[in-house]
Amino acid sequence: MEFHVWEPVYERILADFGFDRAGDERARDRLAAMSEPFDLDSLPEFAGATVAVAGAGPTLADEADAAAAADDVVAASSAATTLRDAGVEVTLAVTDLDGTPARLATASHEGLPVAVHAHGDNVDALERWVPEFAGDQLLPTTQAAPAGPVRNFGGFTDGDRAAFLADALGAAELTFVGWSFDDPAVSDLKAKKLRWAEQLLYWLETRRADRFSVLDGRRDGLTLPTVDEG
């Protein structure tokens, strides 16, 4: 996704949460200083593949077989470790380091590529954990404008960023496991982020001319976050 397409949505997210764009940019720049360019060609071929997008919801362990049935798995944060513990091969993990950073860092040295995301609230985590990752397995990302080795594929939460990344890499079909938009155990802030994740997935499926099963029964309450569908 080109940043000029993402930027109006990003600005709406910033306004809705009261987040500071300058904070995101500072975090992006710090991550850039600690990272090297990531070679996307080092990833398995996503073109034509069915990719399972794994969320870290409470049903994930019960859906491990569905994840394993996909050609590739892109997993959000701790979903990657849950699936690996269940014997499911994960192709790519996506994290803002709020979850299981130590285990993901270890997994990167075992060959797991990890998209590490910078935002205004996780600079301390970046400083603590980025040096622990295998440099050639770390794909640095931002929700602000891309800069240096840091890329922006679209998306806001770990889960929907995983879907946008799989789309950007050419996935033919996206399936969803471990997703729960109505988890009563999450905080009000997390619930609000999940509402945005729904809208962003709705936007993504519209851009793909697709229908994601994870949104079945929910579309009537969703709106596109931007009028631009290009």
Helices 3-17 and 188-207: angle between axes, nearest 10 degrees: 160
CA distance 103 to 162: 18
Q: Which residue, 37, 218, 17, 30, is CA-closest to 122? A: 30
Residue 200, token pair as written in the block: 């962003």
- Would you state the pLDDT for residue 229? 43
Reading phi first (left if > 0) and then psi (alpha if -120 to 50, else beta), residue 77 is in left
Q: Identity (one letter) of the amino acid at 220?
A: D
Position 145 scores a pLDDT of 98
Cα–Cα distances in angstroms (integers) from residue 67 to residues 157, 159, 212, in the given order: 20, 14, 15
pTM strictly above 0.75 = yes
> What pLDDT is recorded for position 230?
43
CA distance to 9, 50, 151, 195, per residue, from 189 (Å): 18, 32, 26, 10
Q: How do residues 48-83 score in pLDDT, each as one tens digit?
A: 999 999 999 999 999 999 999 999 999 999 999 999
| Whole-number Å distance between alpha carbons of 191 and 106 | 30
Strands 92-95 and 138-142: unpaired
* pLDDT of the residue at 227: 53
CB 52 within 8 A of CB 67: yes
144-167 pLDDT, tens digit per residue, is 999 999 999 999 999 999 999 999
For residue 167, the 8-state DSSP code is H
Segment 177-199 mean pLDDT: 92
How far is it, in rounded angstroms, from Cα 203 to Cα 206? 5
